[in-house]
Amino acid sequence: MDATELLARYEQMAVIRRTEKAAHDLFLHGLVKGTTHLAAGHEAIAVGASAALRADDYVFATYRGHHHALARGATPEECLAELMSRATGLCKAKGGSMHLTKAATGMLGSYAIVGAHLPMAVGAAWSARLRGTDQIAVAFFGDGATNIGAFHEALNLAAVWKLPVLFVCENNLYMEYTPIADVTAVARPAADRAPAYGIPGEVVDGNDVVAVHETVERLARRARAGDGPALIEAQTYRHFGHSRADPATYRPAEEVERWLKHDPLDLARGRLIELGVAPETVTAADERARDVVAKAVEAAKAAPGPDPGEALTDVWADGGAAWRT
């Protein structure tokens, strides 16, 4: 990745970081209801992987999926409008934080039942093969999903048919509130399971956007060539708790400190400086990100709420919700 591209990725990560902080602040001001699962700290995974994908590839994410939606082409304004229950929201205010979806750009959904979307990605990969395209599908999921039945069913099915799908685990060390190591039989919850399905299982520093990009690019090329699925365990850390109700006080202070020093934005900034990019140039990218998100917050705040009639649309393909004659 050259300096120009890395700077663009840095700016993308900065936009995601600012959007997550805005979501947090808007919640504190009572403007976001329900719950949010912020991905601050995970930016390098979404951005690095997306940079390695084609525009027509498919992405499936979890309830912690703001970063994937943003990396995959959703704007901060439409994401924040969705969180704030506005008519201009990404899903017309019917999905909310846990279901950000932008099908037009291949972001085929955020799913709030842990692990449920892994078989869907397998199906999308099957569909690509049946249609004779060389698209691939990617499922992003957390470490907690590795103990779900659907994870194992999906890996086996993808492996047995050598389907073009990448399983990308964002291992942030905690299954909700519980350390994943306390409830998992193997040390590396995703990568250690890959050999059981006869597929590659690679561990990568999930906070290093360049490393994530390189790994996904290599395994995507392999999948596209017909050599089958792969599993990537990207090690990372979340800056906030599991959800907005969770202050994450169960995490040891030294662990938090160690990971905060390994921030994906700081890492990318360091690499940019090494590549000879002037510090002011990086700071300018930060300022652009700040402005974009600030404008998005204002626009989302100013947008109208949904038309109440929308509650009874979009159940069926004809747009309606009628269940009887």
Partner 1 sequence: MADVTAERAVGAREISYREAVAEGIAREMRRDPAVVCLGEDIGEAGGVFKTTVGLREEFGPERVWDTPISEQAIVGAAMGAAMTGMRPVAEIMFSDFLACCWDYLANEIPKVRYMTGGQVTVPLVVRTANGGGLGFGAQHSQATENWALTIPGLKIAAPSTPADVIGMMAAAIRSDDPVVFFEHKGLLASKGTPPPPGHVVDLGSATVVREGADVTLVALASMVPVALRAAELLAAEGIQAEVVDLRCLVPLDVATVLASLARTSRLLTVEENPYQGGWGATLVSVVADEGFGLLDAPVRRVAGECVPLPFADALEEQVIPTVEKVVAAVRSLAAY
User: Of these, 3, 8, 31, 116, which contacts partner 1 (CB under 8 A)?
Assistant: 116
Q: Measure the CA–CA gap between 21 and 16, rounded to whole angstroms.
A: 9
What is the gyration radius of the CA atoms in the chain, in angstroms? 19
Q: Binding to partner 1 by residue 304, rule CB under 8 A? A: no
Segment near partner 1 (CB under 8 A), from 87-95, 177-185, 269-277, 295-303? 87-95
- What residues from 227 to 256 belong to the interface with partner 1 (CB under 8 A)? none
We find the least distance from the C-beta atom of residue 52 to partner 1, in angstroms, to be 20
Provide φ and ψ at 84, rounded to 5°: -95, 15
We find the least distance from the C-beta atom of residue 222 to partner 1, in angstroms, to be 20
Q: Which residues, including other chains, have CB under 8 Å from residue 154's CB and lie 6 or more apart?
A: 118, 119, 121, 122, 139, 167
Q: How many CB atoms lie within 10 A of CB 42?
A: 29
Q: Which residues, including other chains, have CB under 8 Å from residue 99's CB and lie 6 or more apart?
A: 63, 91, 109, 110, 111, 112
Q: Binding to partner 1 by residue 278, rule CB under 8 A? A: no
Q: Binding to partner 1 by residue 102, rule CB under 8 A? A: yes
Q: Tell me which residue of 72, 71, 69 sits closest to 81, measured CA to CA.
A: 69
Q: Which two tokens stand for residue 131?
A: 């249609």
Q: Binding to partner 1 by residue 118, rule CB under 8 A? A: yes
Q: Binding to partner 1 by residue 99, rule CB under 8 A? A: yes
CB contact at 8 A, 201 and 193: yes
User: Of these, 120, 175, 212, 265, which contacts partner 1 (CB under 8 A)?
Assistant: 120
Q: Which two tokens stand for residue 84?
A: 């704030």
Segment near partner 1 (CB under 8 A), from 14-22, 100-108, 207-215, 253-261? 100-108
- What residues from 160 to 189 belong to the interface with partner 1 (CB under 8 A)? 160-161
Interface ranges with partner 1 (CB under 8 A): 58, 60, 89-96, 99, 101-104, 108-109, 111, 113, 116-128, 130-131, 137, 149-150, 153-154, 156-157, 160-161, 313-319, 321-325
